[in-house]
Amino acid sequence: MLEFTVGPVMMDPEVKAVGAEDIPYFRTLEFGEMMKDNERLLKKFAYASEDTKVVFLTASGTGAMECAILNSFTSQDKVLVINGGSFGERWALLCKSHHIPYEEILLEHGQTLREKDLMPYEHQGFTALLIQGDETSTGVRYDLKMVSAFCKRNHLYYVVDAISSFLADPLEMANWGIDVLILSSQKGLSVPPGISVLLLSPKAQARAKEINTGVLYFNLPDYLLNMERGQTPFTPACGILKQIHVRLLMIEKEGGAEAEIERMADLALYFRTKLATAHLPLIPLAETPSNAVTSLKVMGHTKAHDLFDLVYKRFGIYLCPNGGNMKDTILRVGHIGHLEKKDYDLLIKDLGILNQEGIL
C-alpha cells in the first residue's frame, strides 16, 4: 500500500511496532512521565514559551477545534474567521453552533491571504482571529507571521489550527504570539488518528478558567489540572500517546522540527519539479503551497474523484480526494508521513501510463 493522503498517513516502522504492543494502564507515574515528555517535545518543536501548557484530548482534530471555541469565546466576542476552504469553513460552522458572533474573510480556492485582505478589518472591534496554518483542502499555506502582526496591532486572541502544517511548515508559537495552537495525531505528527492536542499560552489558560464553560468532556481547566501530573480526566487513547512519544523522540534524534520541515520541503519540491516536467493535465492550485500537500486542478478526461478511485484500484495507490464542491475538480498529493522520493517516482510513472492511455 502507498498513501499520498494527508491523514491518516504512512507511518514509520518504529511507530507501527508500538501499535502492536499491549496498552499500558495509565494511572501510573511512568505514564505521567511519558505525557510530560510529550508536552516538553511538542513545546520545543512548536517553539512555544516555557509557560505554555499542553493538553491531550482523545478526539479527532475537529474535537480540539470545538474545545478551543468552547473554552475561549462567549457571545461577547467578535471573531474574524479566515475561510479559504473546508477547514476555514469549519471554524465558521463551530462559531455558528456555539453562538459566537463572527465574520468571515472568504478566499477563492487556492488563493492566499494578503495584508490587503486584512486591511478592512483593522480596528473594527474584533476580539479574536481563527485561521489554519495550512488550509489542507486547497494546500494553501498562510503567512502566520504577517497575520501575527495584524493580531498584535488589533489585540486579537490568535488561534491557529496547525493540524496539517505542524512539522511541515515553519511555526513559531511564542514569537508569533499564538494563544491556542491545535495539532492532531494523524497528520503532521504521522501516527494513527485519535489524539488531538492544544498548546495554550498563559492568556489562553487564564481565559479558559475565566469562561469556565459548563461542558464536562471538553472542560479545559479540568485537563490543565490533570496534566500537572501528566494525566487526563478520562481514559485517553493510551496506545496512540505512546506512539506519539516514540515519533517525537525520533524527530528529536534526527535534528528536531527544523530537520523534519526541511525533509518535507525537499519532498514537496521534488514532486512539484517532477510533475512540471511530466506534462500531465494536473495543474497546481495553491498560490502559496504548504510543504504538507500539493493540490492539483484536474484538467483531463476523468473527474478528480473518479481518478482517485481508478488510481487506487489499478495501482494500489491512494491519492487524496476532496469533498464538497471540490470533489470533481481537485485532487491532492500529500507529503506528510513516511514517504520517500522513490514513492513519487512511482506515482508519476503510473500517472504517465494513464495519460498515455488517454484516461487521464
Residues forming the site for ligand PLP (CB under 6 A): 7, 60-62, 87, 132, 136, 161, 163-164, 184, 187
What are 3's three cell numbers?
498513501
Smallest distance from ligand PLP to CB 137, Å: 8
H or E segment to which residue 29 belongs:
helix 29-45
Q: Is the dihedral of CA 296, 301, 305, 310 positive or negative?
A: negative
**For residues 198 and 280, which CB has a smaller minimum distance to ligand PLP in the complex?**
198
Please, what is the minimum distance in Å from the beta carbon of residue 82 to ligand PLP?
A: 12
Name the residue nearer to ligand PLP (CB basis): 160 or 354: 160
Report whether 124 contacts 145 (CB < 8 A): no
In the chain, how long is the greatest CA-to-CA distance? 63
Which of residues 132 and 302 has its CB atom nearest to ligand PLP in the complex? 132
Element (H, E) at 318: strand 317-318
> Is 234 in a helix, a strand, or coil?
coil
CB nearer to ligand PLP: pick between 61 and 239 = 61
* Nearest distance from C-beta of residue 270 to ligand PLP, angstroms: 22
Cell numbers for 179, please give them.
494563544
* Omega within 30 of 0 (cis) for the link into 193: no
CA 351 to CA 221: how far, in whole Å? 50
Q: CB 62 → ligand PLP: shortest distance, Å? A: 3
Q: Closer to ligand PLP at the Cβ: 161 or 260?
A: 161
What is the spatial distance between Cα 248 and Cα 260, in angstroms, rounded to a whole number? 11
Minimum CB separation of residue 99 from ligand PLP in Å reads 21
* End-to-end Cα distance, the chain: 22
CB closer to ligand PLP out of 164 and 302: 164
Q: How far is the CB of 67 from ligand PLP (least distance, A)?
A: 12
